[in-house]
DNA sequence: GATTGTGAATAGATTCACAGCT
DNA sequence: AGCTGTGAATCTATTCACAATC
């Protein structure tokens, strides 16, 4: 099998997409599918599906296709989705609260174990079964929950500081929704998602 | 100048990033900057900055660098951010409500003019200065607001139908937060943002 | 002297096309 | 007969390196 680090973010995201598609097929009781049929149904590329999968091993049966259930399981294993990953959220504004309540972030492989905010007005607010805690309690929260992933959902100007706090608290994987490029830190993986950029991408084609 | 269509999404998103960085510089009263310095400060690539910009024209002064204010204006023009783009949101769940309140989507070049939901329980709720309207009113809303962009923030199973409604209402650019690949429709631009994929990308490196 | 703009070189990602299995 | 897995070919993106310019 291959090394962990040498796969592109593009290919990795496609594996997630394949998993989504396969789960949809499973719900419709499809047991087996060929790369061609998978591509046709979900507007993907058959050659790319095969190449992406083959990169991690031989998952299919020549002449037949892929077994939907077993491919699902193997993709989950590949993506590290077999166990639950505890998550903490920093920032209880619009985005932070929405993500804390978002079912996708609270089922399957992820569970939000806590949410903190600097603003005393926000501390104590309830979000589903969580209570917003002060940012000063982040280190304990991370330790108690064994959180592996931090979601940074604070305004741009507060992002660098809260980023450092997350790292100091022991978080090594961060999903950043603040529209600022954070300074890289060795061994810390940051994925920045700037929602405005998506709108701007659409705006470009409206001129 | 160049054609509209032949730029990659990657390059386009970088232009948005450059604009963010330049606005930060403007706030710190930096008047001029070289590609090298811009790259150094924000962890970008100097050669790539020059190539991206040069693709659209000659924006810099050799031996000197780029004028921050004028480059900002030119990037805004390039990206179609000079005028306000009316936006409608379909789905008043966690994500829809958060985006409707999100300052980034309600300032500068974008303004959310309305939000609709199928659920009678949600209709009538107030979100900032908007009231959630029933989905049946989407066509009027789009017409009245002259909305150009639709944000699809409904559960996966409801996405295909609401996608068709947006298109039928006259929307041609759609930002889709539902984790399903939508069928392509000619002349309709869809950008799907699957938030869970970002978490899964981080999870991959946690095994 | 410094920095842009750009062709050439390199690296990376996708598609093709077919040998190898079932 | 049909489909996977894969090397080769193509396409796309990034980086290099330097001539052109201020």
* Residue B176 near residue B154, CB atoms below 8 Å: no
Examine the domain organization and report whether A100 and A52 are in the same domain. Answer: no
Summary mean pLDDT of chain B: 96
Find the mean pLDDT for residues B114-135: 97
| Interchain CB contact of A1 with B (< 8 Å) | no
For residue A1, being part of any structural domain is answered with no
How much is the pLDDT for B6? 82
Whether A45 CB is under 7 Å from strand C: yes
Same-domain pairing of B101 and B189: yes
The answer on A112 and A176 residing in a single domain is: yes
CATH number of the CATH domain containing B16: 1.10.10.10
All residues at 6 or more sequence positions from A198 whose CB lies less than 8 Å from its CB, including other chains: B175, B191, B193
Sign of CA dihedral A89, B21, B105, B13: negative
Q: Domain boundary at A19, A50, A79, which?
A: A79
- In our burial notation (b when 16+ CB lie closer than 10 A, e otherwise), range A78-105 reads bbbbeeebbbbbbbbbbbbbbbbbbebb
- The pLDDT, as a whole number, for residue A144 is 98
Residues of chain A falling short of pLDDT 70: 1-5
Spell out which residues of chain A touch residue B21, defining contact as CB-CB under 8 Å: 181
What is the spatial distance between Cα B25 and Cα B42, in angstroms, rounded to a whole number?
Answer: 11
What is this structure's pTM? 0.95
Q: Is residue B205 part of a domain?
A: no
At B5 the pLDDT is 60
Same domain, A109 and A183: yes
Would residue A3 count as lying in a domain? no
Nearest CA in chain B to A190: B202
Same domain, B23 and B64: yes
A70 and A127 inside one domain: no
Considering the domain architecture, whether residues A123 and A66 belong to the same structural domain is answered as no
Contact residues on chain B for A89, CB-CB shorter than 8 A:
none
| Structural domain contains residue A155 | yes
Is the residue at A42 inside a domain? yes
% of residues, chain B, pLDDT over 70 = 98
Which long-range CB contacts under 8 A does B157-166 form with residues at least 24 apart?
Answer: B158/B91, B158/B118, B162/B90, B162/B91, B162/B135, B163/B190, B165/B90, B165/B135, B165/B138, B166/B88, B166/B90, B166/B138
Residue B98 has pLDDT above 90, yes or no: yes
Range of the domain at A60: 9-79
pLDDT (tens digit, 9 = 90+) per residue, B3-43?
Answer: 556 899 999 999 999 999 999 999 999 999 999 999 999 99
- Show which of A79, A112, A141 is a domain's final residue: A79
List of E strands, chain A = 32-33, 66-67, 85-90, 110-117, 126-127, 130-134, 149-152, 173-176, 189-192
Domain count, chain A: 2
A62 and A105 both lie in a single domain? no
CATH number at residue A118: 3.40.50.720
A101 plus A189 within the same structural domain: yes
Let me know whether B38 and B94 are in one domain: no
Is there a contact between A185 and A167 (Cβ–Cβ < 8 Å)? yes
pLDDT of residue A6: 81
pLDDT at residue B4, rounded to an integer = 52
- Give tens-digit pLDDT for B160-199: 999 999 999 999 999 999 999 999 999 999 999 999 999 9
User: Is A98 in the same domain as A185?
Assistant: yes
- A124 & A161 share domain: yes
């Amino acid at each position: 099998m291959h090394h962990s680090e040498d796969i592109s973010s593009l290919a990795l995201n496609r594996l997630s997409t394949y998993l989504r598609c396969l789960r949809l097929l499973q719900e419709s009781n499809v047991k087996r599918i060929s790369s061609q049929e998978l591509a046709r149904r979900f507007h993907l590329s058959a050659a790319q599906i095969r190449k992406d999968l083959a990169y991690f091993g031989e998952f299919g049966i020549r002449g037949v296709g892929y077994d939907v259930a077993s491919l699902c399981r193997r993709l989950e294993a590949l993506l590290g989705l077999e166990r639950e990953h505890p998550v903490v959220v920093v920032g209880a504004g619009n985005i932070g609260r929405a993500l804390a309540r978002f079912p996708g972030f609270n089922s399957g492989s992820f569970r939000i174990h806590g949410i903190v905010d600097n603003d005393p007005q926000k501390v104590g607010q309830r979000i589903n079964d969580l209570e917003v805690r002060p940012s000063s309690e982040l280190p304990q929260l991370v330790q108690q929950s064994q959180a592996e992933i931090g979601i940074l959902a604070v305004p741009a100007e507060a992002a660098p500081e809260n980023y450092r706090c997350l790292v100091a608290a022991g978080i090594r994987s961060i999903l950043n929704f603040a529209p600022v490029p954070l300074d890289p830190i060795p061994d810390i993986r940051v994925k920045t998602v700037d929602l405005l950029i998506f709108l701007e991408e659409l705006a470009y084609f409206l001129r």
